[in-house]
Amino acid sequence: MADTSFDVIVIGGGPGGYVAAIRAAQLKLKTAVVEREHLGGICLNWGCIPTKALLRSADIYYEMQHAAAYGLKAGGIGFDLPAIVKRSRGVARQLNQGVGFLLKKNKVTVFDGAAKLAGGGKVAVSKDGKAVATLTAKHIILATGARARSLPGLEPDGKLVWTYKEAMVPDVMPKSLLVVGSGAIGIEFASFYRTLGAEVTVVEVLPRVLPVEDEEISAFARKAFEKQGMKIHTSAMVKALKKGANSVTATIAPEGGKPFDLTVDRVISAVGITGNVEDLGLEGTKVKVDRGHVAIDEWCRTGEPGVYAIGDVAGPPWLAHKASHEGVICVERIAGVPGLHPLDITRIPGCTYCRPQVASIGLTEAKAKEKGYQVKVGRFPFIGNGKAIALGEPEGLVKTVFDAKTGELLGAHMIGAEVTELIQGYGVAKTLETTEAELMHAVFPHPTLSEMMHESVLDAYGRAIHF
């Protein structure tokens, strides 16, 4: 019989849960993870990782199609969709096994099953309706993640109307596709299927695509997507879906315009996510659920003593790296590690792996002004960078936003090749509370894309060299 008494029990083995468990074990806390499905959670198995594998295949296919631009010859170019999907699933499987190894290495006990709070520091674990164990711990961390949200009339059916799960393992390559929602998930799938040749239409209820991004970056992205052949309708709603034998007719209503019908092979619903708060035994506790997510304080504590929540179940931003960081903060607070700081969401980078890539951190120019800052804004285009031109990637922009009074870096926003790798430079800068002075005096290697980060800072102060 496995031991059932622990210092910390983590419910959920995703990027928040397994990281929290490993950090707790490092701090000599006896730790258990309860996972009902896959170690690594949605991110590793059905989200961040396998989608990047799909997008990598699409990127290589795109480069093969444009081989002549690099003085290369390639004939008979095509793709094998089942093989692309198989590779993506293989990547996810490899990493899933890796998480299991890491938990075992750190002596974290893993229970396979669904967990439910049972009062008094108890957690009841069951599998297929049968009791597995009753665990006890002084500290219980909810890391149950989230799932795709569905809207009335637009409910996914797994065949004609897909969530991200079905979009990741398509049984057919749709000739035409409607994507409802233009956040990171929607745009990444739109980019993948468009690169492989599908006619893609995107509908967004808000006035612009990638609505959380800086307005300038959103506008640049829309122009790039439309140049690729995507059709984009902003300030518009999908009012209804009528399913045929192997197609869907959507009624699209633009704001202030006349509704029209669009018939496509498949629809992807990407209208957001909602936390997995059901069947956790929250009834009768002081845990508060607000708009589908568990309410927490700055240390991830819920209203119920000894119960914490991290990651997607605790609300936005819905990012794996945010979940992991919250997990570390949560268990370090439990363990009494000195010198801790609550999570500052303005220091969390966001990345979208479409073509072109989009990445950002901190306040947009508009948000900074809303908060009362006087700002200095710098910009540098990819066309002014030698490495970007050599790569054949001259389309893009780096934008930085500073507090005019103090020189604090308030935000950074990028679109273009490999910006999802570049953004962390500004992430480190914000964590170190760097001002424009340190960034200006930092030496950036040549020739690299990172030089644009330097030039954008210089431009905010009228000192750009190469543009």
Please name each of the domains of the chain with its CATH number. Answer: 5-148+274-335 (3.50.50.60), 161-271 (3.50.50.60), 356-460 (3.30.390.30)
Long-range contacts of range 244-253, CB-CB < 8 Å, 24 or more positions apart?
246/160, 247/160, 248/160, 248/161, 248/178, 250/178, 250/203, 252/203
The Cα 209–Cα 221 span in angstroms is 8
| 413 included as an active-site residue | no
The Cα 403–Cα 406 span in angstroms is 6
In 349-406, which ranges are E strands? 350-352, 358-362, 375-381, 397-403
pLDDT tens-place string over residues 9-45: 999 999 999 999 999 999 999 999 999 998 988 878 8
Single out the catalytic residue among 293, 446, 454, 466: 446
DSSP, collapsed to helix, strand or coil, labels residue 28 as: coil
Q: One digit per residue, pLDDT tens: the chain, 467 residues?
A: 467 999 999 999 999 999 999 999 999 999 999 999 989 888 788 888 999 999 999 999 999 999 999 999 999 999 999 999 999 999 999 998 999 999 999 999 999 999 999 999 999 999 999 999 999 999 999 999 999 998 898 999 999 999 999 999 998 999 999 999 999 999 999 999 999 999 999 999 999 999 999 999 999 999 999 999 999 999 999 999 999 999 999 999 999 999 999 999 999 999 989 999 999 999 989 999 999 999 999 999 999 999 999 999 999 999 999 999 999 999 999 999 999 999 999 999 999 999 999 999 999 999 999 999 999 999 999 999 999 999 999 999 999 999 999 999 999 999 999 999 999 999 999 999 999 999 999 999 999 999 999 999 999 999 999 98
Amino acid at 300: C
